Amino acid sequence: MTNEYIPVALNTIQPNTCAGCNLYIKTHTDEGIRYVLYCNSESALYEHNIKELQYNQINYLFIKQCEETLYLRHRESHLKLIIHDPSLDTKTKSEMVYNVAKSIMFDIFNDPRAGDNVERSKNWVSGTVEYVLNNKDATSTMLNMVSYDYYTYTHCVDVSVLGLLFAKYLRLNEKEMNDFGTGLLLHDIGKTRINLDILNKNGKLSEVEYIEIKKHVEFGHEILKGLGGLREESFFPILQHHEKLNGQGYPMGLRGGEIHDYGKIAMIIDVYDALTTKRPYSDARKPFPALQMMKEHMKGHFDEVYFRSFVAFLGSRGG
């Protein structure tokens, strides 16, 4: 793993900054391919360096795969500059936005009580909201980023991406999108306190296991309250993404108007993403069969107005 290298597009490196990891040039010799150090982790890659490389038709540098996380932290710290960079196409920007979120959530699930978790989440959501509101092609490219393999941390990213794009479709304002999106990104942080054998069980949960997994909602609330820095509105998706309209959800058994709009929307997106991703106990469903199952086999679970809007949103690719 430490000797494997991955390409980094030159135009995705923010000029005049340190990338946070060593950057290499790929060369071809009689002995085969070699990777030659071009810029070390503590040195900035200046604009004239980038122009010189481009002049020599070098459009990619390489990083060691084991240092990818360090590089993603560099991208994370410059996310707003990246999304406003006119030299980058929408697909490249969407990939960076999505991969930065995966890196953030991977870190959070490894250390849920780290002091910068909330701030990193809020900053990512803020940048992503700016991006989707100011780029008409962001919706279709971001939807294509959504993963079909289920890991709890990627599920959080996918739910947040879907939620932000749907929020744009519903014409929520920027502040509402920030509050809602941050709650979605962190909605399952409480699962860090659930036994992995239960989370990854290949089959139906026992009654005892189901009682245990339901605790993740309150665990998440407890973790995030302890960290501080999260607006009250962001707690609605966290606390209510398993509340059903008919009162048969958890943890509080709320019904109808007792559930906040953010909770109602979060419930729809959480279930949809779970159905359309590969799980330990089931294959991923295509969008239409997933929506059909939600409509026909989960009656009373969802707000009908939001559910119909979500179907229309997916049908229009978020247009």
Q: pLDDT tens for residues 183-208? A: 999 999 999 999 999 988 888 899 99
Task: Say which CATH architecture domain 78-315 belongs to.
Answer: Orthogonal Bundle (1.10)
Q: Are 314 and 291 in contact (CB under 8 A)?
A: yes
Q: Which amino acid is at 15?
A: P
Query: Can you list the residues of the chain whose pLDDT is less than 50?
Result: 1-2, 319
- Residue 222 has a pLDDT of 98
How many CB atoms within 10 Å of residue 170?
16
CA distances from 55 to 23, 49, 51, 60, 244 (A): 18, 10, 6, 12, 59
Task: With 0.85 as the threshold, say if the pTM is over it.
Answer: yes
| Residue ranges of domains in the chain | 1-67, 78-315
> For residue 264, which phi and psi values (nearest 5 degrees)?
-65, -45
Contact 100, 72 (CB under 8 A): yes
pLDDT given for residue 149 in this prediction: 65
